[in-house]
Structure 1
């Protein structure tokens, strides 16, 4: 007997990173050509020693670290986010406008669950972050693709033509995953104005904010005294402090929205990880200089990627920033076939653009995402040597 399956889940594509890992099954890599995995953006190194010591101390000596905590997160962490974000973005954020989640993916799912239901629509620029699309599919919410063209920068004017009476939100990711591009401040302002004019939510996922190549604040959205009537900010501590396994993210939104968020979080998690929150708070208070060094290293790898593609015949770099390069390949085969071929012929694991575009997308078949944050300068140079040897 086959048990029932929610049709929305049956219609949702499997997780792309897990699918790509299955391409490695049964493959042996030569000793002189080990696998270079540029498929996933999660840090693989441990957090710095001081943070690990703070985690260990809390685990050993803080009894509260092992109990349920507040649904919306530890007050001290919410206060620290409000203080630091207010200073860095030039706005006014209250601790009551901050909620902590089990990672930024949960932050997105939480917020979206309060905004849209079956039959509603949400505008997602393409190429899109696949987990955003997956949640909408599983929720029976229609993802409306917004083509970003050759610049990978979305246009508010183009988005305006996609708005219907079923539209509930517009989602932006900057610096972008998968495109790597950093959205100009004026682009975000234009989308804020568009969303406000239509009574929509503007959700901005800033998971990779700490690795933005620009100095100063990346946008002016929080400087608007009425920001909370339209804007919802998402963030992840996983990348800045290497806390991927501890799952700590954040939502910054109106108090009224967080009242609804609390219902969702109490149902699916009860509270965020206490130890993860303790680690995030310690990091915010102690690791600013260390994060700046991490940013410098990522920017150096970004330069290496840009220079490498400028010299690689046939390939075209579409966007590069934060952890990602998004490129156009020169082969006749579609990108999913090309990426499987690169595993066998070059010991390279990348994700095809077909995982970031609507089904059947012609441009997706030409595109590939390369997550370079876990590959040092010598690894990047070796990747380019291998790509140069692959023939059409």
Structure 2
């Protein structure tokens, strides 16, 4: 395994800021906004409650698990109980626990390419082998592509919709096809739904809503990090069949004991705060348009309008050729040195010739970032968002 290449970029930008350099970070996959006051107050109240000062259940606070079960039921239109939920140290931990429960040493898990490197790293950490599967021109997986990479050792596929870094939302028909393929070949589906609140097309569906018969071979992963600006609180979950929950609970019990109780109380308050994700999605939709328009106004950059998520994922191949650079990493390093702007090179996502740019920042920060881009990369005009 390697260190997270995305956080490496963010860490370098953070180090420069510590030296007094005015760096704008559009690299890390997290909202710039602070956690809501309601959630913070819930954590303060929890810290004052002596009941949170002692050991708790490994599976997670029953009230939080009940609330998660209700949320997952709303997405899937299926019945879930608190017993179907395991609380984890963020969604990355949930992904690891899911793979660890399902995949033996040397067995394979299919992951999207381009795709978030954390999916492959969770597989590797759990002892499995991550097998990249090429997405189509709209960055979506298909049953046909999955079949080309399936082997007798294939145990699971990790699906993310909206995706990171691409923002691709899989339409319901495509999800049904993937579910049918998974059932035919006895393959588990691990659905990473961490960006579910940020769908700008109105087409997001949980795969279990599209294909409820997959319920016995599917794991749903979620958390409060993105929707509620709580990346540092580290609270996520998985909802799954009993054998996966039993494995995850045992692993938590033997390692971290349980997720900190104060953080779980904060997550419970977040899930009751339905307004924050709606406001964030509205803001991100506007900022998405602003950023994509600016990127498409620069010679050598072609940026599709993402369906969801919080990232633009432009093709910068022509710009690289024009400037004599060999990779997105060259461009990212140059932008950090020249424009004091941090972005993530596409190589981190198995997508050479692209960069990932986060628009989950406030308007002022994004406008300043756009001005810096225009100052160092000659504009070609106003530009218009491209659609996929």
Fold shared per TM-score above 0.5? yes
Residues 27 and 47 of structure 1: is their aligned pair in 2 closer, same or farther, counting only changes over 3 Å?
A: closer
Tell me the CA shift for residue 289 of structure 1: 2.0
Does the Cα contact within 8 Å between 2:96 and 2:126 map onto a contact in 1? Answer: no
Residues 105 and 314 of structure 1: is their aligned pair in 2 closer, same or farther, counting only changes over 3 Å?
A: same
Distance 2:52 2:125 in 1: 33
| Alignment match, 2:59 | 72
Tell me the CA shift for residue 89 of structure 1: 3.1
The equivalent position to 1:13 in structure 2, one of 2, 14, 30, is: 2
The answer to whether structure 1 residue 35 and structure 2 residue 28 are counterparts is no
The answer to whether structure 1 residue 143 and structure 2 residue 130 are counterparts is yes
The answer to whether structure 1 residue 155 and structure 2 residue 155 are counterparts is no
Does the Cα contact within 8 Å between 2:34 and 2:229 map onto a contact in 1? Answer: yes
1:235-274 paired onto structure 2 within 5 Å: 235-274=222-261
Q: Report Cα offsets for 1:182-205 as digits up to 9, x if no partner.
A: 221222222111111111110110
Residues 207 and 55 of structure 1: is their aligned pair in 2 closer, same or farther, counting only changes over 3 Å?
A: same
Q: Report Cα offsets for 1:330-360 as digits up to 9, x if no partner.
A: 2132111111111111111111011111xxx
Does the Cα contact within 8 Å between 1:121 and 1:143 map onto a contact in 2? Answer: yes
What secondary structure, in the 3-state scheme, does the structure 2 residue paired with 1:202 have?
Answer: strand
The answer to whether structure 1 residue 55 and structure 2 residue 55 are counterparts is no
What secondary structure, in the 3-state scheme, does the structure 2 residue paired with 1:245 have?
Answer: coil
Residues 63 and 184 of structure 1: is their aligned pair in 2 closer, same or farther, counting only changes over 3 Å?
A: same
What secondary structure, in the 3-state scheme, does the structure 2 residue paired with 1:247 have?
Answer: coil
Distance 1:176 1:37 in 2: 20
| Alignment match, 1:4 | none
Distance 1:25 1:308 in 2: 25
Tell me the CA shift for residue 83 of structure 1: 2.0
Distance 1:306 1:331 in 2: 18
The equivalent position to 1:356 in structure 2, one of 336, 342, 349, is: 349
Residues 29 and 115 of structure 1: is their aligned pair in 2 closer, same or farther, counting only changes over 3 Å?
A: closer
The equivalent position to 2:290 in structure 1, one of 304, 328, 341, is: 304
Does the Cα contact within 8 Å between 1:312 and 1:384 map onto a contact in 2? Answer: no
Question: How many residues in Structure 1 have an aligned counterpart in Structure 2?
Answer: 371
Moved more, 332-341 or 302-311: 302-311
| Alignment match, 1:7 | none
Does the Cα contact within 8 Å between 1:179 and 1:318 map onto a contact in 2? Answer: no
Q: Report Cα offsets for 1:5-51 as digits up to 9, x if no partner.
A: xxxxxxx22221343246448858999x9311011012343322222
Distance 2:212 2:11 in 1: 49
1:59-208 paired onto structure 2 within 5 Å: 59-60=47-48, 62-208=49-195
What secondary structure, in the 3-state scheme, does the structure 1 residue paired with 2:8 have?
Answer: helix
What secondary structure, in the 3-state scheme, does the structure 2 residue paired with 1:134 have?
Answer: helix
What secondary structure, in the 3-state scheme, does the structure 2 residue paired with 1:246 have?
Answer: coil
Does the Cα contact within 8 Å between 1:124 and 1:144 map onto a contact in 2? Answer: yes
Q: Report Cα offsets for 1:293-340 as digits up to 9, x if no partner.
A: 122111111121232233232201145232111111121321111111
Residues 366 and 314 of structure 1: is their aligned pair in 2 closer, same or farther, counting only changes over 3 Å?
A: same
- TM-score, normalisation: structure 2: 0.89
The equivalent position to 2:302 in structure 1, one of 316, 321, 324, is: 316
Residues 146 and 42 of structure 1: is their aligned pair in 2 closer, same or farther, counting only changes over 3 Å?
A: same
Does the Cα contact within 8 Å between 1:248 and 1:272 map onto a contact in 2? Answer: yes
Does the Cα contact within 8 Å between 2:165 and 2:356 map onto a contact in 1? Answer: yes
Does the Cα contact within 8 Å between 1:69 and 1:274 map onto a contact in 2? Answer: yes
Does the Cα contact within 8 Å between 2:162 and 2:196 map onto a contact in 1? Answer: yes
Does the Cα contact within 8 Å between 2:335 and 2:342 map onto a contact in 1? Answer: yes
The equivalent position to 1:331 in structure 2, one of 314, 320, 332, is: 320
The answer to whether structure 1 residue 377 and structure 2 residue 363 are counterparts is yes
Residues 57 and 344 of structure 1: is their aligned pair in 2 closer, same or farther, counting only changes over 3 Å?
A: same
| Alignment match, 2:381 | none
Tell me the CA shift for residue 371 of structure 1: 1.4
Distance 2:85 2:120 in 1: 25
What secondary structure, in the 3-state scheme, does the structure 1 residue paired with 2:52 have?
Answer: helix
Unaligned runs of 5+ in 1: 1-11, 358-363
